[in-house]
Chain A
Amino acid sequence: EPEVTQTPSHQVTQMGQEVILRCVPISNHLYFYWYRQILGQKVEFLVSFYNNEISEKSEIFDDQFSVERPDGSNFTLKIRSTKLEDSAMYFCASRAGDGTNEKLFFGSGTQLSVL
Chain B
Amino acid sequence: GNSVTQMEGPVTLSEEAFLTINCTYTATGYPSLFWYVQYPGEGLQLLLKATKADDKGSNKGFEATYRKETTSFHLEKGSVQVSDSAVYFCALAPPGGKLIFGQGTELSVKP
* Of B32, B49, B93, B104, the contact of A43 (CB 8 Å cutoff): B104
Are B43 and A106 interface neighbours, CB within 8 A?
Answer: yes
Residues of B within 8 A of A (CB): 4, 32, 34, 36, 41-46, 49, 89, 91, 93, 96-104
A-B contact count (CB 8 A): 55
Are B103 and A107 interface neighbours, CB within 8 A?
Answer: no
Residues of A within 8 A of B (CB): 3-4, 6, 33, 35, 37, 40-45, 48, 56, 91, 93, 99, 101-109
Given contact pairs A45-B98, A48-B98, A102 touches B49 in the complex (Cβ within 8 A): yes
Shortest CB-to-CB span from A10 to chain B, Å, is 12
Given contact pairs A43-B101, A45-B98, A104 touches B46 in the complex (Cβ within 8 A): yes
User: B42, B43, B46: which has the most chain A beta carbons within 10 Å?
Assistant: B43
Given contact pairs A102-B49, A104-B99, A109 touches B43 in the complex (Cβ within 8 A): yes
User: How far is A65 from B33 in the complex, measured between Cα atoms in Å?
Assistant: 29
Contacts of B4 in A (CB 8 A): 42
> What 6 A-B pairs come out closest when comparing CB atoms?
A43-B101, A106-B44, A106-B43, A101-B93, A108-B43, A42-B103
Are B99 and A45 interface neighbours, CB within 8 A?
Answer: yes
* Of A6, A93, A101, A106, the contact of B97 (CB 8 Å cutoff): A101
* Of B43, B98, B100, the contact of A91 (CB 8 Å cutoff): B43
Are B44 and A91 interface neighbours, CB within 8 A?
Answer: yes
Contacts of B49 in A (CB 8 A): 102
Shortest CB-to-CB span from B101 to chain A, Å, is 4
Mind listing 16 A-B residue pairs with CB under 8 Å? A6-B43, A33-B98, A42-B101, A42-B103, A45-B98, A56-B98, A99-B96, A101-B98, A102-B34, A102-B46, A104-B46, A104-B99, A105-B43, A106-B44, A107-B43, A109-B43
